[in-house]
Amino acid sequence: MRTARALLLSILVATSGCGGQQSALGSQGAPAIHVEHLILGMVAVCAAIWILVMITLGTALLRARPRTARQDDGSEKPLTMAVSAAVAATTLIIAGLTIASFYTTRGIGLADSTALTITVKGQQWWWQVFYADSSTGPGFQTANEIHIPVGRDVRLQLESPDVIHSFWVPSLAGKQDLVPGRSNSLLLRAEKPGVYRGQCAEFCGLQHSHMAIMVIAEAPGAFEGWAATQRLDAVVSADSDTAAGQASFMAKPCAACHTIRGTPAGGTTGPDLTHIGGRRTIAAGLVETTRGSLAAWIADPQTHKPGNNMPMVSLTSTELRNISAYMESLK
Amino acid sequence: MTRDGDEFRDSSMGTAELHRRLAAIWSTPSGLWGALSTVDHKIIGRRYITTAFVFLALGGLLSMLMRLQLAQPEARFIGPDRYNQIFTMHGTNMMFLFAVPVMQAMAIYLVPLMVGTRNIAFPRLNAFSYWMYLAGGLLLWIAFVVDAGPDVGWFAYVPLSGPQYGAGKRADIWAQMITFTEVSALAIAVEIVVTVFKQRAPGMSLDRIPLFVWSMLVTSFLVIMAMPAIMVASTSLILDRLVGTHFFNPAEGGDVLLWQHLFWFFGHPEVYIIFLPAVGMVSAIVATFTRRPVFGYLGMVMALIATGVLAFGLWVHHMFVAGLPRLGESFFTASSMAIAVPAGLQIFCWLATMWAGRPVFKTPFLFVVGFMVIFVIGGLTGVMVASVPFDTQVHDTYFVVAHFHYVLVGGAVFPLLGAIYYWFPKFTGRMMSEVLGRWIFGLIFAGFNLTFFPMHILGLQGMPRRIYTYQPEMPWSGLNLFISFSAVILAAGFLLFFIDAIRSARSGSLASANPWGATTLEWATSSPPPPYNFARPPVVESLEPLSGDLETLPVASGLRVDRRELLTSSVVHASPEAREASPGDSIWPLWAALATTLMLIWSIFSPWAVVWGSVPIAITLIGWFWPKGVPEDEA
């Protein structure tokens, strides 16, 4: 089993990219670690069974046979014994695996009431994230990126206002659907700091493929610092391009769909942009956040993510440059 | 049974005279009219099988398009809208237009021959069933060609398929195609049940029924019990979309998960509806090519029935991440794992048969060996996904794509291809090529494993299903490219299979009545069989009626030869009960199917279609059932 794990991990490490880890193997959170043990154990047991069956099959087909034309009926007795034993073994193994599965479920447990609670709403095709009021300050809203403190249970409240989505960050926990009309919850926990990528796992329409989420696990102090920044309203820098960008943003249809706290922009159709410049990616994990990628996205969202709900707004090149600068400044 | 002095009975007649008279009364007239009105189960069965394989080829083409798109990250070969239609079509087509119909089609052809009767029960319903199936398939594919193909997945989860998010008529076409295929599947299921229960050859008591026939009997009961759930689901969906009912709308008191329960209450038994017939085919092939009966007949039959019963207690394992209560999920883990026991029993019985027998490595048997290798993997990954925590990681990933292709292709298509090689001489009177058969097996076996095994790894590496592309930074590009190349090998194998089938049907070497030395009744008549199957109904005295000399097979006599007549027998012991008239050719099933098609397609656009569209259906049914004034059976 150890070699199986090493083999699987080596495949994984050799191929893992820079966008944050997204794999059920090499897990970094307690729930996913429990499941990974179960996965490796079951794969090992099943592989052994398969090999045994194949050896039996090969022997049955190729063994040397007596020359007599037909067996006498007495020779069926050993076969009956063998088949009965195999069925009994199957039943025992199945029972064992079922019990192992139950214990894994129990080991994962449920988030208790003291856990940090984050509400995640799946939207076509992005993630809306709400942090509730806490002892350290009031709640706030963000999108497509969740920060969590390392070593602490986090309870995700999962809801959907449109179609079914599924929240899945495999390195930290198994998936859980976001079902309209229901509220599901998921225990999330990271043992080590890092960026863990996930993406929607339930087919949800045209851009199901581009609906990623980043979970950033950091030390409790760093997490509180991030949360404090998120609670603040947007600040406009003194830079003239940025100020012009803000004016264009408010004058154009942008503000009808997006909120930027501390400004008149209060639309709720699209993601909250108050601190978009501080997020790692835009458009639900589509590209890294840079001034260039922001400009490319704003100029033509339908080419980059065909079918998404953001329309192409006609802008002059100056307006485009200024709005991109403004977005980038919203750290 | 025999009444002396009746000149229209077969009792006193010479063989040549008997054949002449039976041919006159049972033959399908040549020409278009004859073809459209025939009720011969062999002609309809062949037609059904051929059509299903055409859909297999089309579905295969779709999968090659998907592999082309996924070979590289962020490829722009196919856009998301078309890709969603393609994977929806692939799944819908393979499940509803290929896998289920082809298994039932094999039964339409083989079951009446294997139980030694002259035609299937309700032969006109059989004709109707084929026309409905064809119409449903055409509806789906024409819609796809004109860019109105369904794009909501073969499972059509609400609300994505509901009135608010499923634009146009795409989801309606999906839902109504379901109705077509369900009607046709239910019709066949009823025919098979009645044929097996009431038309078995005298002496074929329950413990002498061939295992393939048993598997089709259990399958037919599964169809009868599972299909109504999906008809309720798809009809409710159409009502939600067309007249604004709110079955699945949480805002108005409906429930999104209700759809999933209904769909999977059908959807899981569906897997066994496809797999159990394959089990029967494997048993038939194993028995013939190991030169001995399948070990543990009673255990095999019990395993079939147990699988059929358990199949209805597993559906929630498709919903392990939907947020159901933990305790309920645990129950379904246990039941899903438990089905491995009857499956294991069958595997062990085949292994024991091979051990005790004398294997002959002809192409049909090669496919069975391939089935053993692949299906055991699929079964074991099935045990894995039955575990709730395991499933939370692999649900809706490529791991599951790999798993169910191992189960469905390995578990059903491999046996089916073996079965085609095995029964091809019976279907056509000609043999398929043994040399090409080995190549085809090799290509499909290698291509399949190279294509689908890496998908297990992709799934564990976090690649979800149903994505039209993935980003270059994800670690999936290498394996995806490898898979796409491997798929070409797999496709080449299937292409060669189609070439061999078409070539052999035209110019393969001629087959004798029993080219493989098999022991079941379909081999007791010529290849292909005459329109009346058996000149005189065979009488069965053992599980292997042909194990002795064909010339010594006992036969019954006393049937009339001036009208289509067959023997009905008792359910348990198959003691002869009556001479039953078997319906003659009729064009009315075709008209009835056309009228039903008109109503069903019209009802996609207007609820009034159900009212006015039923008028033509009523007229055609009156024509169909117009009394002829002759008694249907004589004791």
Question: In chain B, what residues touch A179 (CB-CB under 8 Å)?
Answer: 256-257, 322-323
Interface of B with A in 338-357 (CB under 8 A): 338, 340-341, 344-345, 347-349, 351-352, 354-356
Average pLDDT of the residues of chain A: 90
Q: Cα distance from A181 to chain B (closest Cα, Å)? A: 5
pLDDT of residue A19: 53
**In what order do the strands lie in the sheet containing A154-159?**
A140-143, A126-131, A116-123, A154-159, A184-188
CA distance B392 to B77: 32
Inform me whether the C-beta atom of residue A16 falls under 8 Å from chain B C-beta atoms: yes
Residue B61: Cβ within 10 Å count: 12
Inform me whether the C-beta atom of residue A92 falls under 8 Å from chain B C-beta atoms: no
CA distance A275 to A234: 7
Nearest-CA residue of chain A relative to B152?
A205
- In the predicted model, is pLDDT for residue B7 greater than 60? no
- In the predicted model, is pLDDT for residue A17 greater than 50? no
Burial B482-513 (b: 16+ CB within 10 A, else e): ebbebbebbbebbebbeebbeebbeebeebeb
CB–CB contact A206 B81 (8 Å): yes
Question: How do strand A154-159 and strand A116-123 relate by DSSP bridges?
Answer: parallel
Q: What are the pLDDT digits (tens) for B188-201?
A: 999 999 999 999 99
The closest alpha carbon to B533, from B523, B519, B520, belongs to: B523
- In the predicted model, is pLDDT for residue A200 greater than 80? yes
Nearest-CA residue of chain B relative to A171?
B462
C-beta of residue A153 within 8 angstroms of C-beta of residue A189: yes
pLDDT of residue A236: 78
* Phi, psi angle pair for B386, to nearest 5°: -70, -20
CA distance B214 to B206: 9
CA distance A37 to A44: 11
Interacting residues of B483 by C-beta distance below 8 A, sequence separation 6+ = B67, B70, B450, B451, B452, B454, B455, B458
Binning pLDDT at 50, 70 and 90, where does residue B4 land?
very low
CB–CB contact B160 A205 (8 Å): yes
Question: In chain B, what residues touch A42 (CB-CB under 8 Å)?
Answer: 383-384, 387, 390
Nearest-CA residue of chain B relative to A31?
B389
Interface of B with A in 397-436 (CB under 8 A): 397
Q: Which of A182, A208, A210 lies at the smallest CB-CB distance from B466? A: A208
C-beta of residue B189 within 8 angstroms of C-beta of residue B220: yes
Question: In chain A, what residues touch B377 (CB-CB under 8 Å)?
Answer: 50
Average pLDDT of the residues of chain B: 94
CB–CB contact A181 B250 (8 Å): yes
Identify residue B464 by its one-letter amino acid code. Answer: P
- In the predicted model, is pLDDT for residue B241 greater than 70? yes
Binning pLDDT at 50, 70 and 90, where does residue B2 land?
very low
Q: Cα distance from B426 to chain A (closest Cα, Å)? A: 27
- Which class for B259: exposed (0-12), middle (13-18), buried (19 or more C-beta within 10 A)? buried
- In the predicted model, is pLDDT for residue A204 greater than 90? yes
Identify residue A118 by its one-letter amino acid code. Answer: I
- In the predicted model, is pLDDT for residue B470 greater than 70? yes
Q: Cα distance from B379 to chain A (closest Cα, Å)? A: 10
Question: In chain A, what residues touch B465 (CB-CB under 8 Å)?
Answer: 201, 203
Inform me whether the C-beta atom of residue B251 falls under 8 Å from chain A C-beta atoms: yes
User: Quick one: average pLDDT of A259-277?
Assistant: 95
Instruction: Please write down the HEC assignment for all residues of B418-473.
Output: HHHHHHHHHHHCECCCHHHHHHHHHHHHHHHHHHHHHHHHHHHCCCECCCCCCCCC
| Range with lowest mean pLDDT among A232-241, B64-73, B458-467 | A232-241
User: Quick one: average pLDDT of B416-423?
Assistant: 98
Task: Taking the CA atoms of B183, B188, B193 and B195 in sequence, report the sign of the dihedral they define.
Answer: positive
CA distance B296 to B86: 44
CB–CB contact B160 A163 (8 Å): yes
ipTM: 0.94
| Range with lowest mean pLDDT among A17-31, A36-50, A67-81, B119-133 | A67-81
What one-character DSSP code corresponds to residue B397?
B
pLDDT of residue B526: 94
- Distances in Å between the alpha carbon of A188 and those of A109, A115, A169, A217? 11, 10, 9, 11
pLDDT of residue B632: 61
Cis-peptide into B159, omega within 30 deg: yes
Cis-peptide into B315, omega within 30 deg: no
**Percent of chain B topping pLDDT 70:** 97
Interface of A with B in 118-157 (CB under 8 A): none
Q: How many residue pairs from chains A and B have C-beta atoms closer than 8 A?
A: 239
CB–CB contact B256 A173 (8 Å): no
User: Quick one: average pLDDT of A161-177?
Assistant: 97
Mutate to test the interface with B, among A55, A90, A183, A195 (most CBs of B within 10 A): A90
Q: Cα distance from A310 to chain B (closest Cα, Å)? A: 16
Question: In chain B, what residues touch A102 (CB-CB under 8 Å)?
Answer: 330, 333
Q: Cα distance from A88 to chain B (closest Cα, Å)? A: 9
Question: In chain B, what residues touch A182 (CB-CB under 8 Å)?
Answer: 250, 256-257, 323
Expressed in angstroms, the distance from the first to the final Cα of chain A is 46
Mutate to test the interface with A, among B290, B319, B355 (most CBs of A within 10 A): B355
Interface of A with B in 201-230 (CB under 8 A): 201-210, 212
C-beta of residue A203 within 8 angstroms of C-beta of residue B157: yes
Inform me whether the C-beta atom of residue B607 falls under 8 Å from chain A C-beta atoms: no
Q: Which of B376, B464, B475 lies at the smallest CB-CB distance from A17? A: B475
Question: In chain A, what residues touch B388 (CB-CB under 8 Å)?
Answer: 101, 105
Place of tokens 């056309």: B594
Q: What are the DSSP E strand ranges found in chain A? A: 116-123, 126-131, 140-143, 145-149, 154-159, 165-167, 176-178, 184-188, 194-199, 212-218, 281-282, 287-288
pLDDT of residue B553: 84
Computed on alpha carbons and rounded to an integer, the radius of gyration of chain B in Å comes to 25
CB–CB contact B80 A163 (8 Å): no
- In the predicted model, is pLDDT for residue B388 greater than 70? yes
CA distance A128 to A146: 10
pLDDT of residue B3: 44
Q: Which of B292, B326, B380 lies at the smallest CB-CB distance from A46? A: B380
pLDDT of residue A135: 84
What one-character DSSP code corresponds to residue B396?
T
Inform me whether the C-beta atom of residue A50 falls under 8 Å from chain B C-beta atoms: yes
Question: In chain B, what residues touch A87 (CB-CB under 8 Å)?
Answer: 341, 344-345, 348
- In the predicted model, is pLDDT for residue B631 greater than 60? yes
Q: What are the pLDDT digits (tens) for A109-154?
A: 887 777 899 999 999 999 999 999 888 889 999 999 999 999 999 9
pLDDT of residue A111: 73
Question: How do strand B565-569 and strand B576-581 relate by DSSP bridges?
Answer: antiparallel
CA distance B44 to B16: 27
**Percent of chain A topping pLDDT 90:** 82
The closest alpha carbon to B389, from A175, A159, A151, A153, belongs to: A175
**Phi-psi category of residue B429: left, alpha or beta, with phi > 0 → left and psi -120 to 50 → alpha:** left
Q: What are the pLDDT digits (tens) for A54-73?
A: 999 999 999 988 766 554 45
Interface of B with A in 459-478 (CB under 8 A): 459-462, 464-476, 478
Inform me whether the C-beta atom of residue A64 falls under 8 Å from chain B C-beta atoms: no
What one-character DSSP code corresponds to residue B331?
H
- Distances in Å between the alpha carbon of B356 and those of A50, A244, B543? 21, 86, 18
C-beta of residue A135 within 8 angstroms of C-beta of residue A122: no
* Domains of chain A with bracketed CATH: 22-59+81-220 (2.60.40.420), 240-329 (2.60.40.420)
- A312 three-state secondary structure: coil
Inform me whether the C-beta atom of residue B159 falls under 8 Å from chain A C-beta atoms: yes
Q: Cα distance from A264 to chain B (closest Cα, Å)? A: 31
Q: What are the pLDDT digits (tens) for B525-569?
A: 999 999 999 999 999 999 999 887 667 788 888 888 888 999 999
CB–CB contact B393 A82 (8 Å): no
Q: How far is CA A77 from the centre of its chain?
A: 54
- In the predicted model, is pLDDT for residue A312 greater than 60? yes
Nearest-CA residue of chain A relative to B375?
A50
Q: Which of B340, B354, B478 lies at the smallest CB-CB distance from A90? A: B340
- In the predicted model, is pLDDT for residue B519 greater than 60? yes
User: Quick one: average pLDDT of B625-629?
Assistant: 81
Q: What are the pLDDT digits (tens) for B476-518?
A: 999 999 999 999 999 999 999 999 999 999 999 999 999 999 9
Question: In chain B, what residues touch A23 (CB-CB under 8 Å)?
Answer: 460-462, 475
Question: In chain A, what residues touch B326 (CB-CB under 8 Å)?
Answer: 105
Inform me whether the C-beta atom of residue B261 falls under 8 Å from chain A C-beta atoms: no
Helices (runs of H) and strands (runs of E) counted in chain A: 9, 12
Q: What are the DSSP E strand ranges found in B142-233? A: none
User: Quick one: average pLDDT of A185-202?
Assistant: 95
Cis-peptide into B530, omega within 30 deg: no
Please, which residues bridge with residue A184 across strands? A158
pLDDT of residue B53: 98
Instruction: Please write down the HEC assignment for all residues of A74-114.
Output: HHHHHHHHHHHHHHHHHHHHHHHHHHHHHHHHHHHCCCCCC
